[in-house]
Amino acid sequence: MNRRTTDPQPAISERIRQRLEAKITERGIDKTAELPDSPEPIPALEAAQRRIPVAYRDTLPEHPDITAWVRAVAGSATAPNEGGLQPHYGTTGRRQIAHGPSLLLWGSPGTGKTHQAYGAIRALTAAGCAVTWHAATTADLYADMRPKAGVDVEHLLRRIVRIPLLLLDDLGAAKSSEWTEEITFRLVNWRCQNHLPTIFTTNLAPVRESGMPPGQPVLRDKVGDRVLSRLSGMCTPVHFTGPDRRFARL
């Protein structure tokens, strides 16, 4: 026979309550003190900010094409586990970047390409998106990919290729070879096929134009037709012009 309890039961037992009271007293916590008006810093957000190089921690996107890209990527962000086998689980929390367009920022050195690229990453965070991202120059990427003892290079490449948001800086600046072209192709091809947002920066014009000196390199010469074709299909090109800002500080 089931016995119905008529009186409301306490959320915790008296014994547990007394133990909690003792711990609070032991640690010198004043239960009557008012809570602070501002929340404590969130370590995860602070860690994400520290990952951005010091020179770019206050950047914001200014070019209209880049702000439009931020809106497009943020607009396509989805709730956690949405579209999974059990979408009713884990759908709360910050929206996560899933798929979206890419950017090719090109122009002379010092015109603000990398500055705007990091500004776009910061703007996505400000838009309320959970941003899992990786940034590297192509020279550093190739250095990490070179075979070395104790490192699974293939696993490292697969992880970078599949990361939700990638910033690949100075495309075409490193010395090219068949090996570097193949690494670049695998990375760009995967991200193109899976519509993963990527920001590329380069000091080179994408293709040769009339009036250019015959010996001046272009991106096509450095990465090859296969890569350039995919960049053309997945990226919005943004041309940066003007003097080198770094020289202006001298």
Query: What SS3 state is found at 14?
Result: helix
Model pLDDT for residues 18-69, shown as the tens digit of each residue:
877 887 787 777 767 665 554 444 454 565 667 889 889 888 899 999 999 9
Give the residue, 156 or 79, on which the prediction is more confident: 156
Q: Which of 104, 103, 112, 48 is closest to 71 using CA atoms?
A: 103
The torsion angles phi and psi of 152, rounded to 5 degrees, stand at -85, 90
Does some domain include residue 11?
no
- CATH of residue 148: 3.40.50.300
Average pLDDT over residues 205-219: 87
Does some domain include residue 182?
yes
pLDDT above 60 (res 82)? no
Cα(127)–Cα(73) distance, rounded to whole angstroms? Answer: 10
Does some domain include residue 133?
yes
Q: Are 106 and 202 in contact (CB under 8 A)?
A: yes
Query: What SS3 state is found at 202?
Result: strand
Supply the Cα-derived Rg of the chain in whole angstroms.
25
**Cα separations in angstroms, 25 against 18, 19, 33, 70, 200:** 11, 10, 13, 49, 56
Q: What is the pLDDT of residue 219?
A: 94
Q: Which of 147, 166, 165 is closest to 155 using CA atoms?
A: 147
Q: Which residues pair with 237 in a beta bridge?
A: 104
Give the residue, 16 or 83, on which the prediction is more confident: 16
Does some domain include residue 44?
no
pTM: 0.76
Q: Are 196 and 134 in contact (CB under 8 A)?
A: no
Cα(156)–Cα(207) distance, rounded to whole angstroms? Answer: 31
Does some domain include residue 84?
no
Average pLDDT over residues 68-97: 69
**Residue 88 — pLDDT band, cuts 50, 70, 90?**
very low
Model pLDDT for residues 98-123, shown as the tens digit of each residue:
889 999 999 999 899 999 999 999 88
Beta strands in the chain (DSSP E): 95-96, 102-107, 129-130, 133-137, 165-169, 198-202, 235-240
Does some domain include residue 247?
no
**Cα separations in angstroms, 197 against 65, 184, 207, 228:** 14, 16, 22, 16
Does some domain include residue 22?
no
Q: What is the pLDDT of residue 90?
A: 45
The torsion angles phi and psi of 134, rounded to 5 degrees, stand at -140, 140
Q: What percent of the chain has pLDDT over 70?
A: 80
Does some domain include residue 35?
no
Q: Which of 228, 127, 134, 246 is closest to 185 using CA atoms?
A: 228
Range of the domain at 221: 64-76+95-208+215-242
**Residue 235 — pLDDT band, cuts 50, 70, 90?**
very high
What total number of domains does the chain contain?
A: 1
